Structure 1
Amino acid sequence: MNFLPLTPPGQTPPRVLTIAGSDSGGGAGIQADMRTFALLGVHSMVAITAVTVQNSLGVKGFHEIPTDVIAGQIEAVVTDIGVQAAKTGMLASSEIIETVAGTWRDLGLAGTPFVVDPVCASMHGDPLLHSSALGTLRTELFPLASLVTPNLDEVRLLVGIEVVDEQTQRHAAKALHALGPQWALVKGGHLRGSAHSPDLLYDGTEFYEFDAPRVDTGHDHGAGDTLAAATACALAHGYSMPEAVAFGKAWVTECLRAAYPLGAGHGPVSALFRLQA
């Protein structure tokens, strides 16, 4: 694949912010985002929203960070360092979602690329978002998003559509876009019975299709985080949205091919393949 251009040594690279939870097992969340950021040559900044207790077998629990601390983290880095793009991950509660949305508006970041990965549950099915927060996600954060990137389980929770084929995927993309984001991406990685992983991007007028052969691996922890992080990096470099999504798709496909076993459960997708490229 073609990588993003690297900034010459001594020069400031693009800055990308992740607003997400910490994964103690290192497979997803802030840890996955920062691996992709580093290996794509951008400067990573973080606003931690929650600390999870998890490993390869699942999430044992989590602790939410106080909302004033979350807002303070975002404000501190944006006002001093600047930001060329941002992404969200685990936001855990209505209060945290409202804080992130309010801080984004207060800082005047409406023109900054903002990728919202609406994390609702871990790959093991462990809840990472209080059910009462789904409405807040729809009404407060989606209208601020440049792009939303739900998987099919999240699509069902957010818009009540069970995606089983191309037609229902298009219906879901339209329903998601109607919630206010500039672009909606319906990922097909969880579409069963297909040899391919079809993703569908929609801007309210046109559909853009991105396909890749399905990678046969049981180690896909952090795939959603990694796709959103790579897409945010491409947006920070000035890519158009379709170009950025195509790049993110290619990146996560390579990370899936490089995935490795870890612990007694699901291993992570691996951005470390870049070190051998």
Structure 2
Amino acid sequence: MVWDTCSIVLHGGSNGSYFTNEIVTGSVVLELKRERKLEQMFLNITGKAKAMWTRPLATAPYVQFYSQTKKVLYISLTVFRELQGKTVGPGVISCQFDFMLPPDIPPTFKDSIARVRYKIKLSSKNVSKMMSTQMTNFIVEDRLNLNHIEEYMIPMVYELEKTFGKSGKFSMTFKTYRAFAPTQQIPFEAILNNERRVKVNKITVTLIQKIVYNITSGSYNTDNIICKTKHSEIISKAREIFVLSMDIPQIISSTTNQSEPMVDISYVLQVKVNFRFHLPIHIDIPVIVASIPVTHGIFFK
């Protein structure tokens, strides 16, 4: 072995995560219990994206496999350069390192279809050419800050309408923000105009994550329900106003902000009105989940 014990310690970061376009700093710490000659030691910082799924076929082989792996990051650094080829006595030695995360790499991700992960690997050979390695993983988040774009800081209004033949027309004005971040609480305002007093069972608002997996040989789509809120205390008056809210969960991937990603993530708020004796109406509102909390303007005036 080149060392007796070794650790790679990352500095800073937020809960072990680092934003794109950010400098990552750390230290390599070696403990030597006896004299050793240090050969070249280097750090490889790598990122890899992989996606795989299957689809049934009507004829043999009856299953079509889709799979692709690609490298999304590679940085190589030499550490302990000044000690290369020298004999070092027992004790603890350390070396600082730093590297810049590019702005266009994909964030860390994992589900049953795809995975994007990043790692730092320390490698060295001793005089007898035996290889020693040490590895640690780290998390990358996309830095998506929308606080400089006014349209994402103010509430937007949307209209839903339905005509019931001779029963007249029902409409709902729905107000919400189009951008937010994990742990933020998002308010909603619904104004119902229901002159014929058609029976309304409930109003639901669902945050849906839409993922498109893209590889050279094909693509695959899936939707995931992230969270939901509802209001069912509706007495079907001619005009009613309701206020709802939704707590955005902590662990949620931000909207994809790269070109041609293997894992493309977007979000919609699905607003749905369920009637007692009629088919429901709904609208899908495209929204953005940022990584930096959005400073919202005044919602109620």
Give TM-score scaled by structure 1 length.
0.24
User: Quick check: which one's strand share is greater?
Assistant: 2
Give TM-score scaled by structure 2 length.
0.23
User: Quick check: which one's helix share is greater?
Assistant: 1
